[in-house]
Amino acid sequence: MPSHSHPHSHPHGNHGHDHPHAHDHAAACGSAGNCNNCNNCNNCGDASAPTPAAADGALLLRIPAMDCPTEEALIRQALADVADLGRLQFDLAARTLAVDAPPATWGAVTAAVARAGFTSELLSAPPSAEATASARRRERTRLLAALAVALGAELLHAIGPDDAVWHAAGMLFAAVAIALSGFAVLGKGLASLARWRLDINALMSVAVIGAFVIGQWPEAAMVMALYSLAELIEAASVARARQAITGLLALSPTQAEVRQPDGSWRHMDAKAVAPGDTVRVKPGERLALDGTVSTGRSAVDQSPVTGESIPVDKGPGDPVFAGTVNQSGALEFRVTRSATDTVLAGIIHAVEAAQSQRAPTQRFVDRFASIYTPAVFVLALAVALGAPLLLGWPWLAAAYKALVLLVIACPCALVISTPVTVVSGLAAAARRGILIKGGVHLEQARRLRVMALDKTGTLTAGHPRLVAQQWMADDLDPMRWRRVARSLAARSDHPVSRAIAAGLAGEASEAQQPLPVDDFGAEVGRGVQGRVDGHELILGNHRWLHERGLCTPALEAAMQAHEAQGHTVSLLADAHRVLALFAVADTPRASAREAVAELQALGVRPVMLTGDNPVTAQAIAATLGITDVRAQLLPHDKQAAVAALGEPGTVGMVGDGINDAPSLAAAAVGFSLGAAGTDTAKEAADVLVMNDDLRRVAETLRLSRRTHGLLWQNITLALGIKAVFFGLAVFGSATMWMAVFADMGASLLVVGNGLRLLRR
Ligand SMILES: Nc1ncnc2c1ncn2[C@@H]1O[C@H](COP(=O)(O)OP(=O)(O)OP(=O)(O)O)[C@@H](O)[C@H]1O
Ligand SMILES: [Zn+2]
């Protein structure tokens, strides 16, 4: 059994495609039940699960008014009392809920949903994307009609004579407009009030009903229509941000051409293709599955998966990915993963999961809004009661002013701005082949001041080659001993051993079988040992030989010469003396030097971490422009080094995700390169760079800074507009619909601002 001296402690798992990710929705906009202010949450960055399938034995409900994760949380709470329920799958975009439950409980489920304040209807099949889209269109038409009728009410009020008939007509117009646009808002608002929750729906409901009661019915109608319309537009904008991600999924075709046992080719559903099957793609076609090329050569455009714009040449043995486009030649490949398990599916899943986590700024905004909204409620109440009593204002004027304040209090723009910006940032990163596992990491990346970079496989390509061998004793038959060395090296899959084994095998003239190795063992950070052909041998680095007292000044001088060129030296020794020296060379990655320079330009200090010896490490670091090198580190030393490199929260780490899981986890933000190429789940890393381009690390930091900038621009913008209107309302003559209009404007402004991240 081949042994690997890297501690593979790392749990192997996939991204968990069966992850019940509907559970994360509640957290998407306002931690569950705490999103007091957000009716707009249908717009929040929550990831909508794929439309729930109406599996047998599942109850599928359409809940028309459910468009916010807060509401989802309410329904969840209500359903908690119902016994025997399985998984709940919420789809806020389609407004459906699928419940795994025996039919006997269905009555209890609908009753619980009704108790939470929602009407529901039974569906036999999940609504299609077109159905959802056409429902959106109908809603838009309805709201535009409501706006027109509300304008009519304003008009009647402005030009109509002051008599009862005209008043009645105006009132009727207003009522129709409110009914057209505001039923859902009023329903949810009253339900919230009944539970003593001051959310946006409650706010709007009080404002509209209040305005109606004090005789400002055209105003009430305008407020309702504009507010509902603004919400719809925001929802569409957020849908766009999310589509940037789910659009990726549409990239992999549903059909694949599969070889049949009789040798013929047949088009099949990609989901039905099993690993091991052979699939072919013609030039210009998109791949439906992941695999390894078996025949053919072609250039493949991998931009959907890795973000790299230049097509990559593929030949037999190379990995190919679902969603990528075959360009020049026909390819046949052996499928390595089922359709639900492809790298692309993993990306989409991870980004969806990332969206449902709250970034720190989002949490801050929620906390702020949850204090701010009730505070303004109290202030409005104080104006309505205090101004007439203390300042002698007319009651009606004071009540109107109070209602204007309520509308101004609506923190839509504030609440909507952060999730849109964060989701856009995550989507923009995903498009560049950078997978960020949560808004937290996107926000954190800008704080990094030190970047620890693993040497082997990160700064270098990780495919060292044997470049020199030197036999230290005259009495050895090199032919025979090369075979011995190769046999020992071949037992390890450490890159250094592999390079030695491969280099020596390439030299073997006849087909020499490797010799058996007994008592094989690997020593982390040192090398391997075993008994070959009756000799107790070790193959390892200077450190190990030195510890065993086998080192001599002459040997050190010989090693020094190789190490100064950046080569890694391994020594073959028996119990008494050193027999041979092997030097392997690893080439720095093409983009590494540039990547290091980019990090430095961002004010981030690059530090090389390696288990290799200091001289070799220094030599390689020098070619890359890195001055700070920490060498001869064991895996746990690396972890300690990461922790000691800077203030907590400021040290990032880039590794290959396999042997450096502990240090990746210790870093504030852990980056892993080449994530598309390996099966290993990169669970320890926070950011996965799909291709091998180290420059994506600096790009992530830049994106993080831009996102942060936009977040605060948006927060300032939203609050600034509020402040202006607050002043106007208190000291001037701002009307209610002006306040709503301003809020709508502010919301659209911040949403548009956030979506700018999506532009390349
Ligand atoms: N199985 C092995 N065969 C040969 N040499 C080994 C082996 N294991 C460790 N070594 C020696 O120990 C050194 C440190 O190994 P370690 O695995 O800790 O670091 P690495 O992964 O090679 O480098 P980096 O830390 O830069 O990723 C290697 O450079 C090599 O010289
Ligand atoms: Zn020595």
State yes or no: is 277 an active-site residue.
no
pLDDT at residue 446, rounded to an integer: 94
pLDDT at residue 465, rounded to an integer: 94
What are the pocket residues of ligand 1 if the criterion is a CB atom closer than 6 Å to any ligand atom? Answer: 5-6, 454-456, 492, 494, 496-497, 522, 525-528, 539-541, 568, 570, 610-612, 659
CA 635 centroid distance within chain:
28
676 confidence band (pLDDT: 50, 70, 90): low
**pLDDT tens digits, 688-700:** 888 888 999 999 9
**pLDDT tens digits, 153-168:** 888 888 878 788 888 8
Residue nearest to atom 30 of ligand 1 (CA): 541
Indicate the DSSP class of residue 41: G
CB-based contact 231:43 (threshold 8 Å)? yes
Q: For the ranges 60-74, 496-510, 662-676, which has the lowest average pLDDT?
A: 60-74
Which atom of ligand 1 has the smallest separation from the CA of 659?
Answer: 21
What's the whole-number mean pLDDT along residues 652-678? 82
298: three-class secondary structure by DSSP: strand
pLDDT at residue 357, rounded to an integer: 63
Measured between alpha carbons, how far is 567 from 612 in angstroms, rounded to an integer? 10
Tokens 């990726």, residue located: 248
The token pair at 203 is 């706010």
> Which of 157-161, 234-238, 337-341 is the most confident on average?
337-341
Which atom of ligand 1 has the smallest separation from the CA of 633?
Answer: 18
Number of neighbouring beta carbons within 10 Å of residue 50: 16
Centre of ligand 2 to C-alpha 639, Å, is 26
What's the whole-number mean pLDDT along residues 9-36? 34
Which atom of ligand 1 has the smallest separation from the CA of 656?
Answer: 27
277 confidence band (pLDDT: 50, 70, 90): very high
Nearest to 191 by CA among 119, 278, 135: 119
Centre of ligand 1 to C-alpha 597, Å, is 27
Q: Are strands 517-523 and 687-689 parallel, antiparallel or unpaired?
A: unpaired
Indicate the DSSP class of residue 757: G
What's the whole-number mean pLDDT along residues 437-451? 92
719 pLDDT exceeds 90? no
Measured between alpha carbons, how far is 29 from 356 in angstroms, rounded to an integer? 8
Centre of ligand 2 to C-alpha 703, Å, is 46
Element (H, E) at 279: strand 278-281
Number of neighbouring beta carbons within 10 Å of residue 547: 12
Indicate the DSSP class of residue 389: I
Q: Which of 491, 612, 629, 658 to mutate to test the pocket of ligand 1 (most atoms within 8 A of CB)?
A: 612
The token pair at 679 is 């099966």
Burial 723-755 (b: 16+ CB within 10 A, else e): eebbebbeeeebbbbbbbbbbbebbbbbbebbb
CB-based contact 750:722 (threshold 8 Å)? no
Q: ipTM higher than 0.90?
A: yes
Dihedral sign, Cα of residue 120, residue 69, residue 206, residue 172: negative
pLDDT at residue 82, rounded to an integer: 82
Residue type, 608: M
User: Which ligand number lies closest to the CA of residue 547?
Assistant: 2
47 pLDDT exceeds 70? no
671 phi-psi bin (left φ>0, alpha ψ -120 to 50, beta other): beta
Residue nearest to atom 5 of ligand 1 (CA): 527
Nearest to 409 by CA among 362, 384, 377: 377
Nearest to 412 by CA among 48, 725, 183, 750: 750
Centre of ligand 2 to C-alpha 543, Å, is 7
Number of neighbouring beta carbons within 10 Å of residue 524: 14
Tokens 């304003």, residue located: 154
User: Which ligand number lies closest to the CA of residue 551?
Assistant: 2
Strand order in the sheet with 96-100: 88-91, 96-100, 58-62, 121-122
615 confidence band (pLDDT: 50, 70, 90): very high
User: Which ligand number lies closest to the CA of residue 586?
Assistant: 1
Q: Which of 463, 469, 494 to mutate to test the pocket of ligand 1 (most atoms within 8 A of CB)?
A: 494
Number of neighbouring beta carbons within 10 Å of residue 421: 34
| Helix ranges (DSSP H) in 508-606 | 542-547, 553-563, 592-601
According to DSSP, the residues that pair with 760 across neighbouring strands are none
Strand order in the sheet with 434-436: 434-436, 687-689, 669-672, 651-655, 450-454, 605-609, 628-630
Mean pLDDT rounded to a whole number for the chain: 82
29 confidence band (pLDDT: 50, 70, 90): very low
Measured between alpha carbons, how far is 6 from 656 in angstroms, rounded to an integer? 12
**pLDDT tens digits, 536-550:** 999 999 999 999 999
Nearest to 132 by CA among 96, 85, 108: 96
Q: Are strands 669-672 and 687-689 parallel, antiparallel or unpaired?
A: parallel
Centre of ligand 2 to C-alpha 565, Å, is 18
Which atom of ligand 1 has the smallest separation from the CA of 493?
Answer: 1
pTM: 0.77
Residue nearest to atom 15 of ligand 1 (CA): 525
**pLDDT tens digits, 535-593:** 999 999 999 999 999 999 999 999 999 999 999 999 999 999 999 999 999 999 888 99
Residue nearest to atom 31 of ligand 1 (CA): 541
Please identify which of the residues 67, 301, 366, 454 carries the catalytic annotation.
Answer: 454
Residue nearest to atom 17 of ligand 1 (CA): 525
39 pLDDT exceeds 60? no
Measured between alpha carbons, how far is 208 from 222 in angstroms, rounded to an integer? 9
pLDDT at residue 17, rounded to an integer: 35
91 pLDDT exceeds 80? no
Centre of ligand 1 to C-alpha 2, Å, is 16
CB-based contact 242:427 (threshold 8 Å)? yes
User: Which ligand number lies closest to the CA of residue 569?
Assistant: 1
pLDDT at residue 735, rounded to an integer: 81
Centre of ligand 1 to C-alpha 605, Å, is 25
Q: For the ranges 158-167, 268-277, 395-404, 673-682, which has the lowest average pLDDT?
A: 673-682
Q: Which of 6, 487, 492, 496 to mutate to test the pocket of ligand 1 (most atoms within 8 A of CB)?
A: 496
210 pLDDT exceeds 70? yes
Q: For the ranges 15-29, 174-188, 552-566, 705-719, which has the lowest average pLDDT?
A: 15-29
92 pLDDT exceeds 70? no
- Of 441 and 674, the one with more pLDDT: 441
